[in-house]
Amino acid sequence: MRPWGFVLLAYGIVWGAIVCYSISLRRRYRRAEEELARLRALEASQSHAPK
């Protein structure tokens, strides 16, 4: 492999891994936000339900 090949391999792996981690974090964050919103709505509807 030529010198630039090593450089591009290193940069590609590093930024590829960081982008993959960012996407996975964003997905987990979204899922948690949706779940929390669902639970909050459920609790609100239960507290307003006639007894």
Binding-site ranges for other proteins (CB under 8 A): 1, 3-4, 6-7, 9-11, 13-14, 17-18, 21-22, 25-26, 28-29, 32-33, 35-36, 39-40, 42-43
Record the tokens describing residue 4, joined without a space. Answer: 């630039």
Tell me whether residue 34 or residue 50 sits nearer to other proteins (CB atom).
34
Tell me whether residue 46 or residue 50 sits nearer to other proteins (CB atom).
46
Tell me whether residue 19 or residue 50 sits nearer to other proteins (CB atom).
19
Record the tokens describing residue 27, joined without a space. Answer: 């997905």
State whether residue 10 is helix, strand or coil. Answer: helix
Phi, psi of 49, rounded to the nearest 5 degrees: -70, 145
Record the tokens describing residue 45, joined without a space. Answer: 């509807």
